[in-house]
Amino acid sequence: MDKAGFIAAADLQCQQQGVKLTALRRQVLELVLAHEGVVKAYQVLADLQRERGIAAPPTVYRALDFLVEAGLLHKVDALNGYIVCRHVGCCHEGLILVCSACGDVSEVDASPALDVLREQALLQGFAIRQQNLLLTGLCQACRV
């Protein structure tokens, strides 16, 4: 999906959720989209400062939190970063694959595996909530 298409889909998704994709939030989303792969909050902050002259950390963190909450971004804890969700619109549980060699990130649907995990967790009395899994390894290009 191209950038404009993604923004349109994001807009729609926000409407459906009854939340607002304000100008600031849209700008932050576009800044994230402008990067390949994982983006860090302070990178977005720097970009935002370049575009608007001034911005403080809370401004960026609020927008990023909103976008994660709205399902447009995923947080990648292991890297203190964010990625664009590649499955906006479809209800999904993502499997985020991070290449430890080149840093490349991809996302696939993980529903079947999640089912197995859910069952196993329930044996411990533990109810896992919907979420994305992060796995590290080597991408095709890097494991020649």
Partner DNA sequence: TCTTAAATGTTACTATATAACAACACCGTT
Partner DNA sequence: AACGGTGTTGTTATATAGTAACATTTAAGA
Note the residue count of the chain: 144
- Of 90, 74, 84, residue with least CA distance to 30: 84
Spatial separation of the C-alpha atoms in residues 85 and 71, rounded to whole Å: 7
- Please tell me whether residue 106 binds its own copies under the rule CB under 8 A: yes
Which positions from 35 through 64 interact with its own copies, judged by CB under 8 A?
none
Q: How far is the CB of 116 from Zn ion (least distance, A)?
A: 19
- Which positions from 51 to 90 touch Zn ion by CB under 5 A, shown as an x/- string? ----------------------------------x-x---
> CA-to-CA distance for 88 and 86, rounded, in angstroms?
6
In the bound state with its own copies, the residue whose beta carbon lies nearer, of 16 and 100, is: 100
